[in-house]
Each structure stands twice: as C-alpha cells, then as structure tokens.
Structure 1
Amino acid sequence: MAKSYKTLYSYGVAEIEIKRSKFIGHAKPVSSEEEAIKFIEEIRASHRMATHNVYAYVIGENDEIQRFSDDGEPSGTAGIPVLNVIKKEGLKNVVVVVTRYFGGILLGAGGLVRAYTKGAKVGIDAAGIIEKIPAKSVILTFDYTFLGRIQNELLKKGYYIKDIIYSDRVSIVLHIEEDHLLEFQTFINDLTSKRCDIKIEEDVYLFKKGDEYYGT
C-alpha cells in the first residue's frame, strides 16, 4: 500500500468577494484524471454564466499528473496560482475550480493572482484537509465479559472503531495503522490475557483530520 499522504475529506465550496467580483472556490478529492475532468465539466455546466472557471488538479502518488487552466484570464494569473495553493498545502489527488463572476472593476495581474489564490484556499478549507494513512482492518472477537473493558480502553486510546457485531461472542472491527499493528496486538493480548481472537484482514486507509480518526 502507498505511504500516507494529504488530500481532501470531501467536496467543499466557499465564496469571497473582491472589488465586486465574486470568486467561488470548489474543491474535491478525486482518484483519477477522468474524475477531475468530470468535476470541472460539472462546475462549468452549473456556472455557465460565469466569466471564468479556472481550474487546477494534481493526481498520483508522486504528483505525476498536474494540470491547470487560466480559462481566458491573463496567462499566469489564475491557473498557476490555484495549482500553487494545492502544492503548497502538499495535497494529492485533488481538483480545485475557482469560478469568477466579474464585478466591473479590473484587478490587474497582481490582484488576480491574489484573488485566485484566496479563492482556491477558501475552497480547500471548506473541503477539509486530511491525512490518509495506510491501515489494516482488524477484527477482535471475545466473550461478553471483556466488552466493557476492551471498549473503554479502545476509546481511551483513540482507536477508530468501524463496527461492533453482537452474536454468540462480540466482534469489534477496527482500522489500525500498519506501523502500529504489533503494538496493538501486544496491547490487546495483555488486556485480555490472550483470550481475544485477533484477525488481520484487508488493507484500508484511515483518515486523520486534526487529532480525530475516520474510516473509509
């Protein structure tokens, strides 16, 4: 599985006004260039009356695909600033579109750069930056007598619990960072005196936003 990387949590949109021009920043995580292009086309379709729909996207583990468009703005004043915001934040597999509705006042080259930079940033902030961390799906199966103790310790340590299944015994499904697997197994074995079955399953990703974990 790939290394951890920063991307966006979900689609986000935010609007700012600069000298009567309205700039709308749209940002979204994507998994391919085709998905990025589809998103750009959707924004263009929903903002047909806009003066410009400037975009940039970065795709790939090593940023293999980087594209941008000024969409009619003076060269270098729009698409590149949007791309630079993505790269400055260290994001991968994201697309950003900044829609402009012209307000009648020219901004000049420097003003355009600042406006599109800010438009991209507010869209990205609205989408939320997360870290995607390689992990494993782990299933713990144990007798009901251990439920309270295990659940409390898992919550106390901040582990992400995906699901709890109640049957003849209890099963808790978690996503555990790959680098912490051995440490986690030792923790569970010590907690239950090795009376808990630990099953390591498929590769997954954990989302980390601030200090909080989310699952895929």
Structure 2
Amino acid sequence: MEVYFTIDKTAVAEFKDRGSKFLGYVFPVKSTDDVKACLGEVKKEHPKATHHCYAYRIGTDGLQFRANDDGEPSGSAGKPILGQIDSKQLTDVLIVVVRYFGGTLLGVPGLINAYKISASMVLQLVPVIQKNIEAKYRLSFDYTIMNEVMTVIKQQNCTVLSQELQLFCEMVIGIPKANEELCLLRLKDIYGLEVARNHV
C-alpha cells in the first residue's frame, strides 16, 4: 500500500426520521486529541441534544479506530457510522452524529438506518483526497547545501514536516513510499547531508 484516502474539509448534513433530527458532522483528524477537540466543539454547539454518537479511524494503517453509541442501544449508532467511513476506505476521519429525540422510538433497525444515512450524507459533501503514505526521515545539513536538498525534496514530492533553519539545518521530511528508494539515493548523493530514519 502506497496511498491512502482521507478528507481535508468539514461538513454538516441533516436527516429527519419520525420527528427525530440527526445532524452529521465530518472532520479531518490526525490524533485522538483532534477527536476530543472536535467532539467538544459539537457538544458545545448542541448541549441539549439527546445523543452525540461518533466513530473515527486514524492512521495510514487504519488500526486506530473507535465507535461510540453514546447511550443508544449497543451497536445501533457508532458501528453504522464507522461502517460508512470504512465503505469509502477512509482514514484520519471523524464523524459525529447528533440526535435530537422527536418523541417516537425508532427501534434498533430504525436507529441503525438513521445513523448510517446521516454518516453517508455528510461524507457525500466532502471530496475524498488521495495521499501518499510517507516514510519519515530526519535530515541534518549545513545551510550551504540547502538548495540541493530542497531540489530533491521538490522533485521527489516529499512533504516538509518540520524544519529548523540556521547555519546548521534540521528537517524532518515525509518521503512517499512509492519513491522512497530513489529519493534516498538522491539525498545520499549530496555531500555533507546526514539522513536518518525518524521513528517518532
């Protein structure tokens, strides 16, 4: 796997069923801290809502995920939301569905359907983007070879994740897995540049 799919925009969609109102929110997230912050925002916006159900999947391996029913019957909310994220093979995505109870019980099948539709509707509002899975490397070099280093970074489609540029420069870059070998060869050709795998 050399690429993954995610989103970079937020959106809101509304779905109604027998008086209950469901508001689906989608957020791009990179960590559980991002999840907490987004969830906090939604709860602040809808303090009187009956439920704030959500699901997320994080990381290029997609191994970090959670589905939360927030008081709805087990498996009736978080799972269908996560199911929509997975059906599009997305990661680094959080969907929160806020429910205002309308007085009529929907039953578990009705709830599953409502949460699934809300998640599906909000995902249709944001474009899916393809990103390269990157390997992280730390570069250490003298400022005099900055141009050479930047040339390779641009040509090889790398992402600069952090940099400290003084007389002596430190940079952490993400190299797309697809051209990792070639990029490393090119970087190692630059005299005076130290390249190390970054495991953070």
Q: Normalising TM by the smaller chain, what interval?
A: 0.5 to 0.7
Deviation of 1:126 (Å): 1.7
Counterpart contact for 2:2–2:177, Cα < 8 Å: no
Q: Corresponding residue for 1:57?
A: 56
- Extract unaligned runs of 5+ from structure 1: 140-176, 181-216
Q: 1:174-201: CA deviations, max 9, x gaps? A: xxx9869xxxxxxxxxxxxxxxxxxxxx
> TM-score, normalising length from structure 2?
0.65
- The within-5 A match list for 1:1-216 is 3-133=2-132, 137-138=154-155
Deviation of 1:12 (Å): 1.0
Paired with 2:127 and 2:102, the residues of 1 have a C-alpha distance of: 29
Paired with 2:18 and 2:70, the residues of 1 have a C-alpha distance of: 20
1:96 is aligned with what amino acid?
I
1:41 is aligned with what amino acid?
G
Counterpart contact for 1:13–1:127, Cα < 8 Å: no
Deviation of 1:134 (Å): 6.1
Q: 1:61 to 1:178 in 2, by over 3 A?
A: closer
Deviation of 1:3 (Å): 2.4
SS of the residue aligned with 2:108? helix
Paired with 1:178 and 1:3, the residues of 2 have a C-alpha distance of: 6
1:93 is aligned with what amino acid?
D
Runs of 4+ in 1 over 4 A off after TM superposition: 177-180
- Across the two proteins, how many residue pairs are aligned to each other? 142
Between the two proteins, what is the percent identity of the paired residues? 38
1:38 is aligned with what amino acid?
A
Moved more, 32-41 or 93-102: 32-41
Counterpart contact for 2:57–2:91, Cα < 8 Å: yes
- Extract unaligned runs of 5+ from structure 2: 135-152, 157-175, 180-200
2:117 is aligned with what amino acid?
K
Paired with 2:63 and 2:178, the residues of 1 have a C-alpha distance of: 26
1:64 is aligned with what amino acid?
L
Counterpart contact for 1:12–1:128, Cα < 8 Å: no
Paired with 2:15 and 2:101, the residues of 1 have a C-alpha distance of: 12
Instruction: Give the aligned CA root-mean-square deviation in angstroms.
Output: 2.2
Paired with 2:17 and 2:127, the residues of 1 have a C-alpha distance of: 23
1:6 is aligned with what amino acid?
F
Moved more, 2-11 or 85-94: 2-11
1:116 is aligned with what amino acid?
Y
Q: 1:150-197: CA deviations, max 9, x gaps? A: xxxxxxxxxxxxxxxxxxxxxxxxxxx9869xxxxxxxxxxxxxxxxx
> TM-score, normalising length from structure 1?
0.61
1:30 is aligned with what amino acid?
V
